[in-house]
Amino acid sequence: MDIATQLSLAGSAIGVLGAMLLFVEFFQLPSYVRFDKDFESYSVDISPDDATEYTAFGRTGAVLIGVAFALQLTGTFL
Per-residue pLDDT in tens (0 to 9) along the chain, 78 residues: 899 999 999 999 999 999 999 999 888 877 778 888 888 888 887 777 766 677 888 899 999 999 999 999 999 998
**Distance from C-alpha of 1 to C-alpha of 43, rounded to nearest angstrom:** 55
Predicted pLDDT of residue 50 = 66
In Å, how far are 44, 63, 68 from 75, measured between CA atoms?
46, 18, 10
Task: Give residue 30's pLDDT.
Answer: 72
What pLDDT shows up at residue 51? 65
* pTM for this model (two decimals): 0.73
Contact 57, 21 (CB under 8 A): yes
Q: What pLDDT score does 32 carry?
A: 75
CA distance 33 to 38: 16
Please say whether the beta carbons of 69 and 9 come within 8 A.
no
